[in-house]
Structure 1
């Protein structure tokens, strides 16, 4: 059994990983929910059709919000885990990278849904999240993961 020591300032990655990241998921869901009615996309349909988007700009905006939300949910769980695991060795660095990831995801959401840039290309404003996510993965896998296997 390998002992795991939790650093004193581990509250920082906890605040990011278990606070800010899930909160942003809720914000995503709320935005999608608010845009559904003006987009005229009834449940259980996830997206507006291309015809609906041509006739209703809110339908296109809904699709962008829905896609931003789905992309967030595709990346959020592992990034939360990377932040928490990396925080065992580097709590401040993992919280900073995790916090920057959240900011980039907000820029991604804002650019995708509210920028008005066609084809959702406003999402590129937050594209740096990929590098931050990769950094957190490397910190967790190589910084913490390898040290546990070498003990």
Structure 2
């Protein structure tokens, strides 16, 4: 809302036709909102099994996203790439979910096999 007031862009208009700086701020914000559901899902599900690891990865991911936004909101989208350090936190979270899922699948198959033997 602060950027909208500073750049005089009223709702419901998403982007300004000529104000590149506002558009970069808006795109940086929108990009964060696009990633947020996946991040929260990974954080909540993976955090059940690996709470400390996911907390550390989540902090790194969020700091990276903040750096990404700050770089993007300068008006030079090329400065956003420093924020790619968020992947240092994001990739282990995704891999952890994969491990977590495989563990549950194996446990489910074993449980089903035990039930069928009886």
Same fold per superposition (TM over 0.5):
yes
Partner residue, 2:83: 126
Distance 2:33 2:6 in 1: 23
- The aligned residue for residue 10 of structure 1 is none
Tell me the residue number matched to 1:70.
30
Query: Which residue of structure 1 lines up, in the alignment, with residue 3 of structure 2?
Result: 35
In structure 2, C-alpha distance between the alignment counterparts of 1:66 and 1:130, rounded to whole Å: 22
What 5-or-longer segments of structure 2 have no aligned partner?
A: 108-118
Shift of 1:111: 1.0
Q: Identify the structure with bigger relative contact order (alpha carbons < 8 Å, sequence gap 6+).
A: 1
Dislocated runs of 4+, deviation >2 Å = none
Whichever of the two has the greater Rg, that structure is: 2
Q: What is the Cα-based RMSD across aligned positions, in Å?
A: 1.5
Pairing 1:1-151 to 2, within 5 Å after superposition = 33-49=1-17, 52-53=18-19, 60-114=20-74, 118=76, 120-140=77-97, 142-151=98-107
* Structure 1: gaps (5+ residues): 1-32, 54-59
Mapped to 1, the partners of 2:86 and 2:106 lie a distance apart of 30
> How far apart, in 1, do the equivalents of 2:91 and 2:22 lie?
29
Q: TM-score with structure 2 length normalisation?
A: 0.81
Residues matched between the structures, number:
107
Deviation sequence 1:43-98 (CA, Å, 0-9, x none):
2110011xx22xxxxxx222111111111111111111111211222111111011
